[in-house]
Amino acid sequence: MRIYLLTLFSFLSQLGFGQISDFKEVDFQKADSIAYSHDKEDLKNLPILSYKLTSELDRDVEKFRSIFTWVSTNIIYDHDMYKKIQAKERKYVDDSLALNNWKKSMVPIAFEKLEKQRKTTCGGYAYLINELAKMADLECELIIGYSKTPVSNTEFPARVNHTWNAVKLNGKWYLCDATFASGYYDPNIYEYVPEYNEYYFLSDPDLFIMNHYPLDHKWLLTDTKTSLEQFILAPVIYKEAYKHDFKPSQPSTLKVKMQKGISRRFSFITDKAFKDEDITLWIGEKVKRKPALISNGEGRLEFDITFNSKGTYDLHVQVSEDYVASYVVKVKK
C-alpha cells in the first residue's frame, strides 16, 4: 500500500491535475457556437466531424470544449438500453461469462444505434469524446468505474456502472462526463431528460469524486483519500452542487443516525459566501426549514438541525432554487 501511494503521488506530481478555473480567461462562446452550428452533422465520418468542430479554434481547451458541447447536446441517452443492461446483469449475476458474451453480442447493435439514431449509454458518449479528441491531436482517456446517483450505487458493495473521460491540456489532466452533462434521469416519469449543463466539463476533482469513482485510482486526480466504500456510503449530490461549489463534509454518510431532541451539525466545504435565506432544508417534499448558519466563511458552511419526532426522514439541502445534497436521517428516542 505504501509503495502504491508513493507511486500514485509521483504520477500526480509529474502530470498535474486541474479544473475549469484554470481557464477563467477563456471565452468558450466561439467553441460552443461552432458546436451548435454543426448539430446536423452525422456520425458516419468522425475525422471530418472532428475537423469541423476544431479547425477554426486555436487553443486545445477550446477545441475540446467544442467536442464536449457537440457530444453532450447531440447524443440522446438510451435509457431503454440501460434498463436492458440492468436486467441482464441481474439475470447473469452469478455467470460473468454469459454476461460478457451478451455484452459482446450487443456491441455492433449499439454502434449501429449510435450512428443512425444518435442514441447510446455512457460508453458511447465516452467513446465519441475519446475518438473526436484524439482526431484533433488531443490526449484523451476512457475512464471506467462507479457513478453514484439518487437511484444507483447507494449501497455497498457497489457495481461498476459508468464510463467517462480524462483529457490532458497544457500538461495537466482534467475530468469530464458528457453523459451527465447531457441531461438527467427523472424518476417521476421514468425517463432521461435531455438538458445540457457545463458543470461536468473540466470538473473540480474534489467534487467529481463525490459521484464518480474510477477503477484505476490514479484517475481520481485529487489528494483526497477516499475509499470505494466511503464513496458509496457518502451523501448524494446533484449537478447543482458543481454550480454552487458545494461539497458535503459532515456527516460523511448518506444515512445519518440522530437522537430525538438532540441537534446535529451539518458541515459543507465551499468557497462561496451564503446568507441565511440562501439555504433551505426540506424534510421530505413538504416540510420546509430555514436553518441559522453557524459558520459561513473560510471555506466552510455549517448549521445545526434537530428532529423532535422519531422516524426516518429524507433531508434535502437547497441552495437558492437548487437541490445540492440529500441524506436519509433515522431519528431514535
Please name each of the domains of the chain with its CATH number. 10-234 (3.10.620), 247-332 (2.60.40.10)
Average pLDDT over residues 11-17: 48
Alpha carbon distances (Å) from 112 to 75, 118, 214, 240, 263 = 13, 9, 28, 34, 56
Q: Which pLDDT belongs to residue 83?
A: 83
Average pLDDT over residues 135-152: 92
CA distance 189 to 273: 35
Q: Which residues face 311 on adjacent strands? A: 331
Greater confidence (42 vs 8) lies with 42
Largest CA distance in the chain: 66
| Amino acid type, 124 | G
CA distance 11 to 166: 15
Q: Which pLDDT belongs to residue 297?
A: 66
Q: Which pLDDT belongs to residue 4?
A: 33
Average pLDDT over residues 90-116: 81
Q: Which pLDDT belongs to residue 106?
A: 79
Query: Residue 125 above 90 pLDDT?
Result: yes
CA distance 255 to 281: 16
Q: Which pLDDT belongs to residue 13?
A: 38
Question: Residue 67 CB: number of other CB atoms within 10 A?
Answer: 30
CB 300 within 8 A of CB 270: yes
Give 10's pLDDT tier (boundaries 50, 70, 90). very low
Q: Which pLDDT belongs to residue 105?
A: 81
Q: Which pLDDT belongs to residue 115?
A: 86
Average pLDDT over residues 65-69: 98
Q: What is the pLDDT of residues 160-215, one digit of tens each?
A: 889 999 999 999 999 999 999 999 878 788 778 899 999 999 999 999 999 999 99
CB 272 within 8 A of CB 245: yes
User: In the block, which residue shows the cell 448539430?
Assistant: 39
CA distance 144 to 154: 18
Average pLDDT over residues 139-157: 88
Q: What is the CA radius of gyration of the chain?
A: 21
Percent of the chain with pLDDT over 90: 67
Average pLDDT over residues 283-307: 87
CB 134 within 8 A of CB 172: no
Give 16's pLDDT tier (boundaries 50, 70, 90). low
